[in-house]
Amino acid sequence: MTGEGRSTPATPAGPAWFMANELLAFVVELAALGALAWWGFATGGGVVARVLLGVGAPAVAAVVWGMFAAPRARFRPPLVGVLLVKAVVLGCGAYAVHAVGHSGAAVVFGVVVVVNTGLAETFRRRGPVAAG
């Protein structure tokens, strides 16, 4: 029930595959942050270094993402800039998976990132294709 002065939240629209790809994009972003944390906690030389890297690496990535690549980013560069930020953050996530010793998973993650980001950016710009 909505009262006067209240607006109802926007309901995502589009075919199921489009919404599934948008959900996958969010999961990939979270996975990259998790991979950076994993790398940081596994890489540091001592406890302090591990905590700083394990917390700091994903925190820096999240701040950069939020400032330049998020849907409501404070600074919205042209598409090339957004894609560059996404490539750096998500690419660092894939590299982090490789660096902790899971090269095969890193390749799979990288492929998912490229395909998902390509589809997401293409259809966000054009709008979802009807029924699919």
Three-state secondary structure readout of 19-81: HHHHHHHHHHHHHHHHHHHHHHHHHCCCHHHHHHHHHHHHHHHHHHHHHHCCCCCCCCCCHHH
pLDDT tens per residue across span 14-51 = 688 888 988 999 999 999 999 999 999 999 789 999 99
Domain boundaries, the chain: 16-125
Q: What is the pTM of this model?
A: 0.81
Mean pLDDT, rounded, for 123-131: 62
pLDDT tens per residue across span 100-122 = 999 999 999 999 999 999 888 88
- Please name the residues in contact with 21: beta carbons below 8 A apart, sequence gap of 6 or more: 116, 119, 120, 123
In this prediction, residue 37 carries a pLDDT of 98
Share above pLDDT 70 across residues of the chain, in percent, rounded to a whole number? 84
Model confidence at 95: pLDDT above 80: yes
By the 8 A CB rule, do 100 and 39 touch? Answer: yes
In this prediction, residue 16 carries a pLDDT of 83
Q: Measured between alpha carbons, how far apart are the two ends of the chain, in Å?
A: 32
